[in-house]
Structure formats: C-alpha cells, structure tokens
Amino acid sequence: MRFRIANITLTAALIGEPVRIVRRERQVAPLSALRANRPGCYISRVKMAQPEEATQKRAVRRVALGVAGGIAAYKAVEIMRGLQRAGCRVRVALTRHACEFVRPLTFRALTDEPVIVDDYAPENPDPIAHISFSQEVDLFLVAPATANLLAKFAAGIADDFLTTTYLATTAPVVIAPAMNPQMWHHPATQRALERLRADGVRIIEPDEGEMACGAIGPGRLSEPGRIVRIALEILESEIRARDLAREHVLITAGATREEIDPVRFISNRSSGRMGFALAEAARARGAQVTVIAGMTTAPEPYGVELVRVCSAEEMLRAVLERLPHATAFIAAAAVADYRPATRQAQKIKKTGARLTLELEPTPDILATVAARKHESLLVVGFAAETERVVEHARDKLERKGLDLVVANDVSQKGAGFDSETNIVTLVTRDGEESLPLMTKSEVAHRILDTVARLRKLARG
C-alpha cells in the first residue's frame, strides 16, 4: 500500500505500519513543513504491533538519544547509526536549539520512530511523552550536551522535554558534553559535572583539539565510535547479573617508573587501559573496586577508589595495605622488572663517555601476593609474551600458585600496550580459552566471567 501526501510517497512495506502526519493548522502537512520539521510538526505512527512483535521488541536493547543545540549535533546521526548497527532500537529527542543544526526529519527517516521536540505541543499524540519515553528505554544517552543542559540537569530544572526526561528516567544516563574550552573549564560547568557524577551519571570526557570557533583545547565531542562503544558496554553490564556484588576487587594498572636520577627513569609503554577496563567492568558488576595505578594515559575509571603510585616498591606497599580486605587481586600493571641499584641525587651529566648502569630486580608484587594469599582470595596475573605464549603463561600459573593467568602475545597487531583492543588466552588449572580480537572492555568482562566461575567453584 502506498500513501501520497503532497510530493512525498510513503510505502507501508518500508515503514512497516500505517502513517499519519499531524500539524496544527491542517492535517496534511506540505513538503516544506516536513523538510523543516520545526517543533510545531510532530510525526508519528499508528501503533498496530502484534503480541509476538512486542515480545521481540522487548528483547532489543532500547536507547533514548537526546541531542542538544551545538555545532556537534550533526555527529548525533553517526552515533544513532552506530547504535542501530549494534542491534539497538533508538528513539531520538531534540532541544529546540538542536533543530537549528540538524532537522528532526533526518532522525525520523533513519529510525522509523517519532522524534520529539516538545511533548506539550497540542499536536503531540502523547502529552506525557517524557514519562513513556524515559520509562521504556534501557539507556538514556545525551550527545552532544551543552553547558546549559549540564547545568539544568545538575540543578534539577525541568523546563523542556530533555530535562523532564532526565528527571523521569530510571535507566542509566550517559552524557557526552561538547563546548568551547573556556566554557568547559569554567567553575560552574565543573560543579555541574561533579554533581552529575555524584548522582551516578557517566560523563564521556570531550576530546582535545581545534574547535569550530578556532579555540584549541578540551571540548570537542568525543568520537562517535567511542561514544557508541561506551554505551554498548554499559548496556551489556546492565544485562549481566551483579555476580560480583560480594567481592572487593583489588587491581593494579599502568606502568611503574624506576628513577635513575631526578630527570630520567626506567619504564614501559603501558597506558593502563586494560586495568582501568577491568575496574569499570568489576564496578558495573557490583564489586567494590580499588585500583593501584602507576603512570597511565587512558581515561581514569569512575566510581572506584584510585590510588596513585610511582615505583614498584610504592605499588607493593599500597597493595599489601589493602590486601586483607580484598577477595580478588588482578595484577594488570606493567611493573618494571629492574631498577637502578643506586638512584643518583643529581642529574647525570653527559660526558661523551659510555655509561654503565647497575640494575637490581624490583619486588615481585604478584609472587608476594600469592605467597600471602588468604582462603577467600583469588589471584589473577598477566603474561605479556612474544613467543610460546600459553606455555610461559602456564609455567607462571603453576610456579606462582595463581588461579588465572591472562596471556597475550604483544607482538600481534591489535594486542598489547596502548591499544584499545586485545587478543588473550585465559589459562586456568583446568584448561585454556583463547579469545579472538576484541575491545579491552570485552576482554575485561570475559576475565571477570572466569573469576566469577572460579569463585562459584570455590564456594561449592
């Protein structure tokens, strides 16, 4: 069946359901109104879903995407498409100012869902859409979010559709801000962010770079692919049972630095990304999480206790202080194997002659923890190898008395230091599981799946 309205043909086979277009002055909207799709124009479908279709839809992850008015609003289309490609059903709501940058009809055409700007408009078929919209989703994502919207969310102001939806939703909330660097750094904006984080909102920090206004600094909307990935990770964590709710997970992350003199040190290229991914995954699954971190370049995890250290000796002390209260220890840090036998108090001057450094082993944090293992403690180690990966990992497991070793070949493309992905093999006493290339967040959950299984076996 085909419907012709003005110069637009709507095919029922493509849309899946009969369509009505409603406008304040007249029931059949001209093409110009559809193109502009101003807040006065609301497009909706006549619901005719069958019971079995409704059942299928409930199994699909549902995301509400809020779009605020800023130059980065056009990127929301890419975010929406990324979520759709991952199998999510996406509904979109825009602020009035957002409509100046990207039209509602764009989202309507791509989602086959109503696009809401003002749920108080007389032509809106659902006068309390902010309630139904907020209660029927698994995640509320706002990208981009302006400084104005952050302030309203933080203060509890509900004067438009997005702000009322924020107050009404019970789903996890993720916000990706975008604004001028000066606005980002302003104390008022930082206070709003602090308040939102305290309320449990996940903030996706903006990237640094050149703004549309020519300023350079933090404020660019994070890359759409990263926003989609974080949204999917949060959806996945909500689906998983809170199987670590009784656990206190102690994690080491990042690289240690062993000083040669006041300006030089021995270290490695670890970013801390894997350890931080483990921290966020464990927190999402209900665990109390403490992270002992050396030098890192990855964004810090939220909702966890973070303790900063520099050297292997400092990391060991921090771990041992907290070990009695931990039920799982995961050694994801890249600890330097050697340190200078003597640290020079002054900078070593360049003389042109050869310089010989005498090195000594650093403390073996993993072996020390395994030797002090109490009955309820699971100990997980990492093995970064370039050859005979599983063989070396199993040797480490048995020699140090570990419960699990995560082995990865750092010479493979897409694995190892400062990469967003990893390829690992999980080695336990009863077998091995090789995982394909996946994000470090996905790897983190697979590691924790094994930790949860080992805990269940230990409890009988």
Residue 330, Cβ neighbours under 10 Å: how many? 30
Residue type, 389: V
Give the C-alpha separation, 62 to 220, whole Å: 26
Question: At which of 242, 263, 290 does a domain end?
Answer: 242
Closest CA to 278 of 458, 451, 455: 451
Residue 15, pLDDT above cutoff 80: no
Under DSSP, is residue 451 helix (H, G, I), strand (E, B) or coil?
helix
Query: What sign results for the dihedral spanned by CA atoms 356, 357, 360, 365?
Result: negative
Strand partners, 291: 251, 306
Could you tell me how far CA 238 lies from the centroid of its own chain?
13
Beta bridge partners, 62, equal 89
Any domain includes 350: no
Q: Which of 218, 242, 266 is the last residue of a domain?
A: 242
Q: Are 310 and 241 in contact (CB under 8 A)?
A: no
Both 114 and 138 in one domain: the answer is: yes
Q: Poorest-confidence range of 27-41, 88-102, 195-209?
A: 27-41
**Domain check: are 431 and 411 in the same one?**
yes
Q: How would residue 22 be classed by pLDDT, with cut points 50, 70 and 90? A: very low
Q: What's the token pair of residue 172?
A: 């996890």
Model confidence pLDDT, tens digit, residues 233-283:
888 777 666 789 889 999 999 999 999 999 999 999 899 999 999 999 999
Q: Which helix (H) or strand (E) holds 280?
A: helix 273-284
Residue 70 inside a domain? The answer is yes
Per the model's pLDDT, the better-predicted residue between 250 and 301 turns out to be 250
What pLDDT does 121 receive?
Answer: 59
Same domain, 114 and 161: yes
Residues 134 and 171: beta-carbon distance below 8 Å? yes
Q: Would you say residue 358 has pLDDT above 60?
A: yes
152 is in an annotated binding site: no
Domain count, the chain: 2
Same domain, 393 and 271: yes
Which range of residues forms the domain containing residue 366?
Answer: 248-337+359-458
Quote the CA–CA distance of 178 and 180 in Å, as a whole number: 7
pLDDT value of position 254:
95
The residues near 213 (Cβ < 8 Å, ≥ 6 apart) are 180
Residue 222 sits in the same domain as residue 309:
no
Quick one: pLDDT band at residue 28, thresholds 50, 70, 90? very low
Which pTM was predicted? 0.59
Q: Tell me if 382 is assigned to a ligand binding site.
A: yes
Q: For 389-402, what is the mean pLDDT?
A: 94
Least confident of 17-21, 239-243, 325-329: 17-21
Question: How many angstroms separate the CA atoms of 347 and 263, rounded?
Answer: 7
Give the catalytic positions in this structure: 213
* CATH number of the domain to which 217 belongs: 3.40.50.1950
Q: Is residue 196 part of a domain?
A: yes
According to the model, what pLDDT value does residue 34 have?
38
Task: Note whether residue 2 is domain-resident.
Answer: no
| pLDDT recorded at residue 46 | 31
Q: Domain for residue 26, yes or no? A: no
CA pair distance 412, 212, nearest whole angstrom: 38
Q: How far is it, in rounded angstroms, from Cα 164 to Cα 261?
A: 57
- Out of 187, 215, 242, a domain closes at 242
Q: What confidence score (pLDDT) does residue 316 get? A: 98
Q: Decide: residue 56, CB within 10 A, 0-12 exposed, 13-18 middle, 19+ buried.
A: exposed
pLDDT digits (tens, 9 = 90+) for 161-177: 899 999 988 889 999 99
On whether residue 27 sits in a domain, the answer given is no
| Pair (266, 132) in one structural domain | no
Cα diameter, the chain? 89
pLDDT at 317 over 70: yes
- pLDDT of 402 over the 90 cut: yes
pLDDT at residue 132 is higher than 70: no
Q: Is residue 333 a contact partner of residue 312, using CB atoms and an 8 Å limit? A: no
Question: 42 pLDDT exceeds 90?
Answer: no
Q: Is 395 annotated as a binding residue?
A: no
Q: For residue 245, how many other CB atoms are within 10 A of its CB?
A: 10
> Residue 84 carries which side chain, given as an amino acid letter?
Q
Least confident of 111-115, 325-329, 442-446: 111-115
Query: For residue 367, is it within any domain?
Result: yes
Amino acid, res. 407: A
Nearest by Cα to 204 from 192, 214, 219: 219
| C-alpha radius of gyration, the chain, whole number | 26
pLDDT for residue 115: 87
Q: Decide if pLDDT at 137 tops 80.
A: yes
232 and 333 belong to one structural domain: no
Provide the pLDDT for residue 399: 94
Report the CATH number at residue 296.
3.40.50.10300
Looking at the predicted structure, is the pLDDT value of residue 49 above 50? no
Which conformational region is residue 418 in: left (phi greater than 0), alpha (psi within -120 to 50 degrees), or beta? left
436 belongs to an annotated ligand binding site? no
Residue 366 counted as an annotated binding residue: yes
252 in the same domain as 238: no
Domain match, 234 and 264 both: no
Find the mean pLDDT for residues 79-107.
Answer: 92
Q: Is 347 annotated as a binding residue?
A: yes
Strands 8-11 and 19-23 turn out to be unpaired
Residues 202 and 188 both lie in one domain = yes
- Give CA–CA dist 303/291, Å, rounded: 11
Whether the per-residue pLDDT at 405 is higher than 80: the answer is yes
Query: Are 268 and 218 contained in the same domain?
Result: no
Does the residue 1 lie in any domain? Answer: no
Q: Which residue has the higher pLDDT, 120 or 427?
A: 427
Yes or no: say if 208 and 218 are a contact pair by the CB < 8 Å rule. Answer: yes
Classified as helix, coil or strand, 44 is strand
Q: How large is the average pLDDT for residues 429-436?
A: 92
**pLDDT class of 37 with cuts at 50, 70, 90:** very low
Looking at the structure, tell me whether residues 233 and 257 fall in a common domain. Answer: no
- pLDDT value at 120 more than 70: no
Provide, rounded to the nearest whole percent, the portion of the chain with pLDDT above 90: 59
52 vs 216: which has the higher pLDDT = 216
How does residue 127 score in pLDDT terms, banded at 50, 70 and 90? Answer: low
